[in-house]
Amino acid sequence: MAIRLQNTLTRTKDLLVPGDPARVTMYVCGPTVYSRAHIGNARPAVVFDLLRRLLRHEYGRDHVVYARNITDIDDRIIAQSIADGVPIETITARTEAWYLADMGALGVEPPDIAPHATTSVPAMVAMMQILIAKGHAYAAEGHVLFDVASDPGYGSLSRRPLDEMIAGARVEVAPYKRNPADFVLWKPSTPEQPGWESPWGRGRPGWHIECSAMIAESLGTTIDIHGGGLDLQFPHHENELAQSTCAHDGAPLARIWMHNGFLKMGDSDKMSKSLGNVVGVDELLAQGWHGEVLRLALLSAHYRQPLEWSEALLEQTKKTLDYFYGLLRRSKGVADIFDPLYAADNESDLSISLSFQLALEDDLNTPLAIGSLHQLAHAVGASLELDLSDPHSVAGAVLAANRREFIRAANMLGVLQSDPNNWFKGDGDSSATDAFVAARTAARVAKDFAEADRIRDKLAASGIILEDGPSGTTWRRA
Ligand code: AMP
Ligand code: ZN
């Protein structure tokens, strides 16, 4: 058990040594819920879902606590609510449901804890009061600002000189700031804007303090792993680090800081809404790409490397999964006979192939792990060539054992979760339909009936009929 992860804080690949191996803690900055996730947003969700699976494998399922927040206070949300003429809660409930549905279709399990900014405001106010009392923050004109000069460690994560950080953060030079690099923890709200009462008047929190307060509240002072995309390194994570360390008398916020590289498409270096070069997860699913194809494509490059998103990548990945599912289908008959013989040892022995495990333990080297999965697949293929006329022969046992090893590794990556027969019938994609049904239910709960109807019509157009009953909604093919 030796997981090494590239730590942005130390710039080295560090051995993960959890503070408490019985409670390994991981926090990943979650979505700001104002618009539907694009496939670039799905990269951190899938990468950290995989890391969580590896941690659970190594430390035990009940010994990993994963928190991913929902940022449901933000000026972009306010702007979206004004643009659509609907309440903020409608925007945030709908977008969160979309996010869970889209990520669910990619095999991303919900986190153990999903703190929401709107329900953590008291924890943020408390943290700001501590920062003010310790001389790391000050109130001015209804704002609370972090005093960057009071923190000698400021800049240690992104390792940028202060002048570059000021330029990078495009900070507002405001008269109430002592230093242009000081960043906002709290700002006043107009009567129309959402706001909370505080010692500094009615207002709302800045983005960075949300995560610092939610981490402390949901996981503790020092966590084992903190993750997010490369764009969060500065200013978001630098500021989280400053707030938390200063509030907690120098205790580190995270032992390991991880950052995934960008998914890009076309000429630009990053798929992003502001550049207008995005493709939604829902759009890709609607085009007929199975969630497992998207997931495996996202894992095909190492998480720190850029990933070029293209139709060719999806086609290639689909071919790989067709090949894998073909092996599963062809080997099923024999395995059904032999697997019961292994049932006892199945229970106790959940080991996975060593080369596969070592690849993931080495800073989540997914290209190598997928290579190893291919080798396991070849072994299944080779054992299918053996004489299997007597299903009780050793050859049958070899096939069943190889098949099981192959499936366990695939499970860890979160693929090969469909019935092989359904995969080839093209209707193995119930996860995507389930996800849409969940999104529609959420829209109905949020009383966004227009959205609920839109989802129902969209499913109807692809031949899925919804039936609402007393215990929820079920679906069938027309
Ligand atoms: P946002 O909702 O914009 O805060 O983004 C949610 C997460 O997606 C953050 O961890 C971002 O760093 C990450 N992210 C955004 N765009 C990309 C991209 N093109 N490639 C990889 N990660 C991204
Ligand atoms: Zn954060």
For the chain, give the mean pLDDT.
91
**pLDDT over threshold 90, residue 197:** yes
Report the alpha-carbon distance of residue 68 to residue 66 in Å, rounded. Answer: 7
pLDDT at 346: 45
Q: What is the Å distance from ligand 1's center to 230 Cα?
A: 8
Of the ligands numbered here, which is closest to the C-alpha atom of 38? 1
Of the ligands numbered here, which is closest to the C-alpha atom of 44? 1
Q: What is the Å distance from ligand 1's center to 40 Cα?
A: 6
Cβ 33 under 6 angstroms from ligand 1: no
Q: What is the Å distance from ligand 2's center to 206 Cα?
A: 11
Q: What is the Å distance from ligand 2's center to 3 Cα?
A: 23
Average pLDDT over residues 317-331: 95
pLDDT at 171: 62
Average pLDDT over residues 291-303: 98
Cβ 273 under 6 angstroms from ligand 1: no
CB 204 within 8 A of CB 189: yes
**pLDDT over threshold 80, residue 162:** no
- Substitution candidate for ligand 1 out of 28, 41, 240 with most atoms within 8 A of CB: 41
pLDDT at 391: 66
pLDDT at 288: 93
Strands 464-469 and 472-477: antiparallel
**pLDDT over threshold 60, residue 349:** no
**pLDDT over threshold 90, residue 460:** no
Q: Give tens-digit pLDDT for 62-74.
A: 999 999 999 999 9
Residue nearest to atom 4 of ligand 1 (CA): 31
Q: What is the Å distance from ligand 1's center to 334 Cα?
A: 44
**pLDDT over threshold 60, residue 39:** yes
Token pair recorded at residue 177: 């700031």
**pLDDT band per the 50, 70, 90 thresholds, residue 424:** confident
Cβ 464 under 6 angstroms from ligand 1: no
**pLDDT band per the 50, 70, 90 thresholds, residue 344:** very low
Q: What is the Å distance from ligand 2's center to 239 Cα?
A: 9
Choice among 4-13, 181-190, 442-451 with the minimum mean pLDDT? 442-451
Residue nearest to atom 18 of ligand 1 (CA): 40
